[in-house]
Each structure stands twice: as C-alpha cells, then as structure tokens.
Amino acid sequence: MPAQIFTDSERPDLFDRLDELADPWPEFIHHDDVVNEWWPLLHQRFPDFQLVLYDPDVDVILGRGCTLPVSWDGRNESLLAGVVDILRDAFDERTEANVLCALVAVVDPRQQGRGFRVTSSKGWRPPPDAPASSVSSRLFGPPGRTATR
C-alpha cells in the first residue's frame, strides 16, 4: 500500500507519535517567543490543517506538513514576512482567512531517498466540495527565511 496522508483530526494517534520525526527547524526558531507560544497549539486549534505522511505497511511516520488558514489579498508586496507573522495572523481572532499557508513540509531524513515527496501539489488537495474561493482551495508558502540543514 502506498504512503497515505492524514490530518491530525483524522488520525490523532499519529499526531501522538510525531516525536518519531527529526526536528525540521534550525535552532534559532526554537527561541522565538511567538513560535514557542503558538506552535504547540496548531494541533489543538487547527487539526484539519496539520498533515502526517504515514506508511501503514511498516507503521512508520514518514513526514509532516503544517499549514494555517490566513488572510492575504493576493499581492506579492502584502505577503506575510515569515513563520512568526503567519502564526500571528492565523491566531488573530479578527483574521478572515481566505488562503492556506504551508509552514513546513518535511520528510524524515531517515526516509528520504525512498521516492516520497511532500509538496503542496502532490501532498495536499482541497476537499472536493470546496468552492474555488474557499480558504482550502488556495495554498501558498511563506518566503524562505530559515537555513536548510
């Protein structure tokens, strides 16, 4: 059976196993007050937008994708500056979200090279009944501001 993608709300048991994955973030992101305050709440507040790549044949978590619904007017100059701004916008009760922002999509380094890719075009699809204007039908990622390992 091929790898499968589940949301945290579909498979909370897989969320409980995410510590099996390597940490995708550079060290400095762990010292940001906004990230430390809100990142742990993604599963609780936005479980339908947090993804787990799972191989049921060997019972292994292969990867993780974290997205958030945010507001954006479609202009490049108004893009949110990075993860911190995206978290602020998503957790602001006044935000009228109209797009989905990918924060991280990662395959565990121990699983890389097996042909798995977590990308917005292959790993996530809007629900079939989502209208074209809905938050779940539009996806973008923040500008890259973190170093890769």
The CATH number of whichever domain residue 23 belongs to comes to 3.40.630
Q: Does 64 map to a domain?
A: yes
Helix H or strand E segment including 45: helix 42-45
Closest CA to 103 of 74, 75, 68, 134: 68
Domain with 86 in it: 4-140
Q: Is residue 67 part of a domain?
A: yes
Residue 40, domain member (yes or no): yes
In a domain, 149, yes or no: no
Is the pLDDT confidence value at 15 over 80? Answer: yes
Cβ contact 63:53 at 8 Å:
yes
Beta strand pairing call for 60-70 and 99-107: antiparallel
Residue 25: inside a domain, yes or no? Answer: yes
pLDDT digits (tens, 9 = 90+) for 24-60: 777 888 888 998 999 889 999 999 999 999 999 999 9
Whether 26 maps to a domain, the answer reads yes
In Å, how far from its chain's centre is CA 148? 17
How much of the chain exceeds pLDDT 70, in percent?
76
147 part of a folded domain: no
Q: How many domains are contained in the chain?
A: 1
List, for residues 91-122, the tens digit of each pLDDT value.
999 989 888 888 888 888 888 777 654 443 33
Residue 12 reports pLDDT greater than 90: yes
